[in-house]
Amino acid sequence: MGVTCINKESTDDNVNLLESYWGHSRKEANLMQIFWILVVLVLSYLVGSIPFGLLIVKLRTGKDIRLVESGRTGGTNAARAAGLGAGIITAVLDFLKAALTVWIARLLLPGNVWIQVLAPVAAVIGHNYSIFLIERGNGRRLRLRGGAGGAPTVGGAFGLSWVSILIILPLALAVLFGIGFASLATMSVAFFATLIFTYGALTGLSPWQYVLYGVITELILIVALRPNIRRLLNGTERRIGWRAKHAKDHSSSSSSSS
């Protein structure tokens, strides 16, 4: 899957590099290692927190995307608020920001597979709970707004292994247009990533930690999409595409016959 194998002693290797290049003692090198880990994770969260959907919709229409439909800032709601083009641009930028965090982790902490996994996880969390979208809810408690996490989840998987997008994207689109539920397609991307990385781990093509990326992001997506899951179970979730048209035509036909 185009992934370099990770040595189990990667953390020690990073510490040794710090010692050799900068002449630090082992204790100082460990402290610097911790410092850079925190830098990467905080930076990844902040990068993930950039609300591209809010910015793009505001620039194109003057609307606040948080007041449109679901109120989320991802590509699906951006398309509802400002058209398909705005939705695609938002999704691409959300995708890239999570991939970027993996590349930053590899640059600053080469060989540390755990940080390569946790960096895009932090980006997905930032996307869903953006520090830049803090507000008071109905109960006057502070809350963080954001998206559902689908695009950055795919971006993080791409950053870990570029081959993954060749499988995840077609399958997710098949779910989206075949079944017609955007929420189900969103949740499917982490599921497909988990399957891909499980195969990679079993065949030695990628580290087993990558499997945890899929599992953790799946849990994040499920938490974010709880209202949609309830509507799916109740049969009230809105469909899109030809499935929506088919459901509408069937409903009209039933009404006419009755």
Residue 245 has pLDDT above 80, yes or no: no
Q: Give the residue, 155 or 24, on which the prediction is more confident.
A: 155
Answer whether residue 59 is part of any domain: yes
Q: Give the residue, 251 or 129, on which the prediction is more confident.
A: 129
Distances (CA, A) of 182 to 208, 229, 237: 29, 11, 9
Answer whether residue 16 is part of any domain: yes
Q: What is the pLDDT of residues 78-110, one digit of tens each?
A: 999 999 999 999 999 999 999 999 999 999 999
The reported pLDDT for the residue numbered 26 is 72
Strands 134-136 and 142-144: antiparallel
Bridge partners of 136, per DSSP, are: 142
Q: What is the pLDDT of residues 1-27, one digit of tens each?
A: 544 444 444 556 665 655 555 555 777
Q: Would you say 71 and 130 are in contact if contact means Cβ atoms under 8 Å apart?
A: no
Percent of the chain with pLDDT over 90: 72
- Name the residue range of residue 150's domain: 10-257
Burial 201-211 (b: 16+ CB within 10 A, else e): beeebbbebbb
Answer whether residue 232 is part of any domain: yes
Element (H, E) at 136: strand 134-136
Window from 61-65, 117-121, 137-141, 155-159 with minimum mean pLDDT: 137-141
Q: What is the mean pLDDT of the chain?
A: 87
Percent of the chain with pLDDT over 70: 83
Residue 251 has pLDDT above 60, yes or no: no
Answer whether residue 2 is part of any domain: no
Answer whether residue 220 is part of any domain: yes
Q: How many CB atoms lie within 10 A of CB 28?
A: 14
Neighbour-count burial of 101, counting CB atoms closer than 10 A to its CB (0-12 exposed, 13-18 middle, 19+ buried) = buried
Q: What is the pLDDT of residues 26-45, one digit of tens each?
A: 777 788 889 999 999 999 99
Answer whether residue 4 is part of any domain: no
Answer whether residue 189 is part of any domain: yes
Domain count, the chain: 1
Q: Which two tokens stand for residue 208?
A: 């087993």
Q: What is the pLDDT of residues 185-211, one digit of tens each?
A: 999 999 999 999 999 999 999 999 999
